[in-house]
Amino acid sequence: MPLRAVLFDWGDTLFHAPHAPEVIVDFARSCGVSVSESRAREMWDEIWTMGKTMEEIAKGRDLSPEAHRRVWTDLFARLDRVVPGVSDALYERVMNPQSWVPFADTRATLEAVRGRGLKVGVVSNVPADLRPVFAQHKLDRLVDSYTHSYEVGAEKPDAAIFLAAAKSLGVKPSETLMVGDHEVDRGAERAGMRVFILPAEFDEDVRGLAAVFDLLQ
């Protein structure tokens, strides 16, 4: 069946947090602790990878703002052993969606999908409305609907959130492609959608979203 819509994950698919290691270095310096940029990057990569495990995702952190803060700060607290208090700084300065920025190829990808007459939806495990974030970067006109876990009451990989996204666009799941970066996005298959998972490795801030174009032929 021809595609009528493409759903995109938000974090680490269309947008990314560009400055987490810098936050660690700056906060450490303010506390009189020396942390190199390379060490800060190692610390962040390790904790971010842990945050993407199914064990952490299953804690329901994206069903409410309160759960999001509690679960993430508990995880970030592992870094307090190196820099006391950095967990709160990371949450406030990195986990705020308004601080995230689009990948270099996000705009061109959304424009290309819309240019082919397809609807665009954003479906994300997130505890806050993403509309202001897209508007801040003048990308809001390229998105037809937003489906947030905290509003639906279900998180990926639950099929319910993907079905809600398809309904919001007025399309059938079988007419929909889901693009994401994580195994939870494969939950869209259980909803009857096609799924494309982006490669884990990519060049700097170019996410590799151009690969989506080949699936739209």
- What pLDDT digit, counting tens, does each position of 11-34 carry? 999 999 878 999 999 999 999 999
Q: Using CA atoms, how far apart are residues 150 and 82, in angstroms rounded to an integer?
A: 33
**Number of structural domains found in the chain:** 2
Within this chain, do residues 130 and 51 fall inside the same structural domain, yes or no?
A: no
Region 157-168: mean pLDDT is 98
Within this chain, do residues 119 and 87 fall inside the same structural domain, yes or no?
A: no
First to last CA, the chain: 13
Report whether pLDDT(52) > 90: yes
Region 23-46: mean pLDDT is 95
Q: Using CA atoms, how far apart are residues 198 and 214, in angstroms rounded to an integer?
A: 13
Within this chain, do residues 104 and 193 fall inside the same structural domain, yes or no?
A: yes
How does 193-202 read in b/e, with b if 16+ C-beta sit within 10 Å?
A: bbbbebeeee
Question: Which of 5, 15, 201 is CA-nearest to residue 107?
Answer: 15
For 4-17, write each residue's pLDDT tens digit. Answer: 999 999 999 999 98
Q: Among the three residues 75, 94, 113, which one is the final residue of a domain in this structure?
A: 94
- Confidence at residue 69, expressed as pLDDT on a 0 to 100 scale: 97
Within this chain, do residues 77 and 131 fall inside the same structural domain, yes or no?
A: no
Q: Using CA atoms, how far apart are residues 36 and 22, in angstroms rounded to an integer?
A: 10
Q: Among the three residues 67, 94, 121, which one is the final residue of a domain in this structure?
A: 94
For 81-114, write each residue's pLDDT tens digit. Answer: 999 999 999 999 999 999 999 999 999 999 999 9
Within this chain, do residues 125 and 51 fall inside the same structural domain, yes or no?
A: no
Whether omega for the bond prior to residue 102 falls within 30 degrees of 0, making it cis, is no
What pLDDT band is residue 1 in, cutting at 50, 70 and 90?
confident
Within this chain, do residues 87 and 175 fall inside the same structural domain, yes or no?
A: no
Within this chain, do residues 67 and 110 fall inside the same structural domain, yes or no?
A: no
- Confidence at residue 214, expressed as pLDDT on a 0 to 100 scale: 86
Within this chain, do residues 133 and 200 fall inside the same structural domain, yes or no?
A: yes
Q: Among the three residues 43, 60, 94, which one is the final residue of a domain in this structure?
A: 94
- Output phi, psi for 36, to 5 deg: -75, 160
Within this chain, do residues 149 and 197 fall inside the same structural domain, yes or no?
A: yes
**% of the chain exceeding 70 in pLDDT:** 100
Pairing of strands 119-124, 5-8: parallel
Within this chain, do residues 137 and 158 fall inside the same structural domain, yes or no?
A: yes
Instruction: Give ∠ CA 96-126-112 in degrees, rounded to 5.
Output: 95
- Confidence at residue 164, expressed as pLDDT on a 0 to 100 scale: 98
Within this chain, do residues 10 and 41 fall inside the same structural domain, yes or no?
A: no
- Confidence at residue 216, expressed as pLDDT on a 0 to 100 scale: 85
- Confidence at residue 217, expressed as pLDDT on a 0 to 100 scale: 67
How does 74-97 read in b/e, with b if 16+ C-beta sit within 10 Å?
A: ebbbebeeebeebbebbbebbbeb
On average, the pLDDT of the chain sits at 96
Task: Identify whether the C-beta of residue 152 lies closer than 8 Å to the C-beta of residue 63.
Answer: no
CATH number, domain of 106, equals 3.40.50.1000
Q: Using CA atoms, how far apart are residues 67 and 54, in angstroms rounded to an integer?
A: 16
- Confidence at residue 211, expressed as pLDDT on a 0 to 100 scale: 93
Within this chain, do residues 114 and 206 fall inside the same structural domain, yes or no?
A: yes
Q: Residue 194 is part of which domain span? A: 5-15+100-215
